[in-house]
Amino acid sequence: MKILVISLAGIGDTLLATPLIEELRLGYPEAALEALVMWPGSRDILVGNPHLNQIHHFQMLKEGPWRTFRYLQGLRKNGYQISLNTYPQSKSEYRLIARLLGAPVRASHRYDNHRWWDPWLVNREIPQNYQHHSVAQNLALLEAVGGCPQLPEHRTRLFLSASEIGWATTYRDSHGLSDKVLVGFHVGSGTTKNLALRRWPLEFYHQLIERLLSLRPDLRVLLFGGPEERADHAWLKERIPSPRVTVPETRSMKQAASLIGHCRAFLSIDSALMHLAAAMQVPHQFVIETATFNKTIEPYNRPYVLIPNPAVKGRNLEFYRYDGEGIRGTQAELEALMLAVSPDSVYNAMAPSLSSPA
């Protein structure tokens, strides 16, 4: 039997699909279990996963519809018996891709933008539930294909290589950080649709970092991210020229995860690196609430502090639902939304954990 896990949405969403992959391996020990991803970071997340036989990576948005169609026609020849669209992949195009790949059993969720033709695209639908975490919703797909979870509890899984673990240790030691209190930051976010508008203002990060550095002399700030955050990191470094603020040049998501694992605290919005920090069990995790934050994508099975956004006021699902659309509101409205979270409120949430001896 050949099974394909389709995870084309965000990088963090792919990490949240790893418990499903583990359960599929338990339920189908002899199957050829493969994954299809779109983002390089998603591929990085899955590299080394012992439950997968193969990872297929194709940048569909970059390559365009015609090359994507030809690629999918080639993949269809693998003869999959089951495909599963992981949660949340709400765009109709994701369900069309499942149809083009041609597995007789095609499982997905029923989203807010459900159309009459969806049962032709995917023939095993289960309802989504905004009160259930994405991990639970992925595991619910097992029932749609005739299985059920076997493990008593689940964790998101990153399988770090010895070189990735060693790289982080070497970086820490060579930069004199082994006896320091490390605080990781991710100032970025996803950039598809209008999701970049949920970023917390850089000037607020500037003010917060300055205050945190004055909290204790052994505190060090690590700015994590990829090419998308390079300009933001340069902006912050120009205004905070202190050697106590560094930008690790990580080459993959798992290198970043390995170094994040050395941090005492981590701050972000609901981004892929938020999920990396949860998977690495950072002791103190802080999340700035955005319009897109909801139960489905909170740090999984880990304690965390949500820094509330007084402008959102519990209306997250009014701003953003899994219907294939962006965040509701104009650019000015959404930027004003993030201005409502003050640097003082974030500092007051983080300071007690960083002031303590451990």
Domain boundaries, the chain: 2-144, 163-355
User: 306 pLDDT exceeds 80?
Assistant: yes
Query: What's residue 358's pLDDT?
Result: 66
pTM attached to this predicted model? 0.94
CATH C-level class of 163-355? alpha beta
pLDDT per residue as tens digits for the range 99-112: 999 999 999 999 99
What average pLDDT score do residues 129-145 get?
96
What average pLDDT score do residues 185-197 get?
86
Q: Which of 56-65, 145-154, 185-194 bottoms out in mean pLDDT, i.e. has the lowest?
A: 185-194
pLDDT per residue as tens digits for the range 40-75: 999 999 999 999 999 999 999 999 999 999 999 999
pLDDT per residue as tens digits for the range 260-271: 999 999 999 999
* Homologous superfamily of 2-144: Glycogen Phosphorylase B; (3.40.50.2000)
Structure tokens at 249: 């040049």
Q: Specify whether the backbone of 330 is left (phi greater than 0), alpha (psi in -120 to 50) or beta.
A: beta
User: 292 pLDDT exceeds 70?
Assistant: yes
User: 357 pLDDT exceeds 80?
Assistant: no
Query: What's residue 193's pLDDT?
Result: 78
Query: What's residue 356's pLDDT?
Result: 76
User: 123 pLDDT exceeds 80?
Assistant: yes
pLDDT per residue as tens digits for the range 3-53: 999 999 989 999 999 999 999 999 999 999 999 999 999 999 999 999 999
pLDDT per residue as tens digits for the range 192-201: 778 888 999 9
* Mean of the per-residue pLDDT values of the chain: 95
User: 236 pLDDT exceeds 80?
Assistant: yes
pLDDT per residue as tens digits for the range 73-101: 999 999 999 999 999 999 999 999 999 99
